[in-house]
Amino acid sequence: MGLVALAGHPGLTGAANKQNHEGEGAVDGMSAISERPVDIGVADRPSAGRSETPTAADGLGRGQRDGARSPAEAEEVLVLSGLTKVYEPTPRWMRVLARTHIKSDVLALDGIDLTVRAGEICAIVGPNGAGKTTLFRIIVGLTTATSGEGTLLGLDVERDSEQIRQVVGWMPSDDRSLLMRATARENLHMHGRLQGMSPRLMATRIPEVLATVDLESRIDTVVAGLSAGMKARLRLARALLSGPRVLILDEPTGAVDPIAAHGLLDLITDLVQRERLAVLISSHRLEEIEALRSQALLLDKGRVKYFGDLDSLREQWERPQLELVFASTDAADQAAADLTSLGLELTVDGPTVRCWLKVRDGAGDVLAALGAGARQVRHVREIPMPLRDLIARAYRHDQTAEGGPT
Ligand SMILES: Nc1ncnc2c1ncn2[C@@H]1O[C@H](COP(=O)(O)OP(=O)(O)OP(=O)(O)O)[C@@H](O)[C@H]1O
């Protein structure tokens, strides 16, 4: 669905329309949020420094109006508590019409607690069907939670969804929502109009956001003529147009090459620091998440497997590898035999032995176990576990069931 279609789509405002989306969701809800260009930054709500008139969207939700908040609480932008979502079976009459339908309840989110503060990036990580999209949809009011609560800048995610969309900038994962035959300026103009921005505000904001994403020289270039990386930056510019306080980025680098992706992530990090935006980002590129030094929420079948920073994740689940290079192949073979008899998992490749440590600081123990054989070691290095393996390990283990990492 393109932006023009959205213009006549009343579904992004009002509770009645949430109902509507829910119905659509039951038909083909899995991709609803990423396919629809969700216009959730709105109108003339300029961000700090661009303020014309303060609006309800300037972070004045119930939670913040109510009495005293500690400085830490005042920084809280998104607070979710016990958020649960159960998709109900598609009604029988609808199944005939539906492209896809479900016959029994689907528990998409199961008691999610999450706090994201101003200036923080939180990466939502999880395999397909983990509940990432459902979480985003609840936050922007495209579907409602079955139970639990959520506030964004003190606004209630269920009751105040219209205002929430005024302070959230949404960057969809692909270019389908861009008008390919229109210029960058025209695309942003169309988006601004749909959001009710005044021509005067757009005249300043459009060049401003294009400069932010380093596309000012392409303002009058037709989108079809932009590279994939530039199109991604244009999508980011569009998300920034109304000066949001929160960014939701759905696979922002999915369609771009690693160098362009690197540039885009630098831009996002910079924005977060400069404007103290709160950012939720979903990405399957784990090395990018590591580069962002973000908080990570690992979801699995709707449940939180882990929430925290990646260093702590490493501390909890890291199982590093120790690489020992011996003076000769014979010495390596002998060491491998000794270490195997001690129960260590290892591989041998010529003079190189790589073994998995049971604990992080076990390198000294390995060398001690080699005894005189350690004199044959020429190089030692610890190889950190790739984030991908680390996360896979966290997913494989159920801490409660197994009593923690082994
Ligand atoms: N509208 C819907 N009706 C019924 N079930 C749904 C609907 N939307 C999502 N689901 C189910 O809820 C669960 C979570 O889906 P969701 O799309 O939120 O996961 P995801 O992590 O975003 O997956 P992906 O990475 O594939 O986009 C899945 O089991 C999915 O099949």
How do the domains of the chain map onto residue ranges?
A: 76-315, 319-383
Quote the pLDDT of residue 135.
Answer: 94
* CA angle in degrees (0–180, nearest 5) for 191-196-197: 80
User: Among 22, 24, 106, which is best to mutate for testing ligand 1, by the most ligand atoms less than 8 A from CB?
Assistant: 106
Residue 90 Cβ inside 6 Å of ligand 1? The answer reads: no
Residue 29 Cβ inside 6 Å of ligand 1? The answer reads: yes
pLDDT in tens, 253-296: 887 888 888 888 899 999 898 999 999 998 887 777 888 878 89
- As given in the structure block, the two tokens for residue 17 are 């329309």
**44 vs 52: CA distance, rounded Å:** 8
Residue 249 Cβ inside 6 Å of ligand 1? The answer reads: no
The answer to whether 39 touches 1, Cβ cutoff 8 Å, is no
- β-sheet bridge partners, residue 41: 167
Q: How far is the CA of 129 from the centre of ligand 1 (A)?
A: 5
CA distances from 405 to 123, 124, 319, 390, 398 (A): 22, 22, 9, 11, 9
Q: Whose CA is nearest to atom 25 of ligand 1?
A: 128
The answer to whether 143 touches 85, Cβ cutoff 8 Å, is yes
The DSSP H or E segment spanning 376 is none
pLDDT in tens, 178-207: 999 999 999 999 999 988 899 999 999 999
- As given in the structure block, the two tokens for residue 101 are 């339908």
- Strand order, beta sheet including 121-125: 168-171, 246-250, 278-282, 121-125, 295-300, 303-309
Lookup result for tokens 């949809």: 137
Q: Which residues contact 350 (CB under 8 A, 6 or more apart)?
A: 329, 332
Radius of gyration of the chain from its Cα atoms, rounded to whole angstroms = 25
CATH code, 319-383: 3.30.70.100
Query: How many residues in total does the chain contain?
Result: 406
Quote the pLDDT of residue 15.
Answer: 33
Q: How far is the CA of 143 from the centre of ligand 1 (A)?
A: 12
pLDDT in tens, 111-162: 999 999 999 999 999 888 899 989 999 998 889 999 999 999 999 999 998 8
**395 vs 110: CA distance, rounded Å:** 16
Residue 130 Cβ inside 6 Å of ligand 1? The answer reads: yes
Quote the pLDDT of residue 55.
Answer: 38
Q: Which residues contact 287 (CB under 8 A, 6 or more apart)?
A: 387
Residue 243 Cβ inside 6 Å of ligand 1? The answer reads: no
CATH superfamily placement of domain 76-315: P-loop containing nucleotide triphosphate hydrolases (3.40.50.300)
Residue 133 Cβ inside 6 Å of ligand 1? The answer reads: yes
Q: How far is the CA of 397 from the centre of ligand 1 (A)?
A: 23
Alpha carbon 42 to chain centroid, angstroms: 22
Q: Whose CA is nearest to atom 31 of ligand 1?
A: 129
Residue 89 Cβ inside 6 Å of ligand 1? The answer reads: no
Written as one letter, the residue type at 190 is M
pLDDT in tens, 369-404: 899 999 999 999 988 888 878 888 888 775 444 444
Residue 87 Cβ inside 6 Å of ligand 1? The answer reads: yes
Residue 41 Cβ inside 6 Å of ligand 1? The answer reads: no
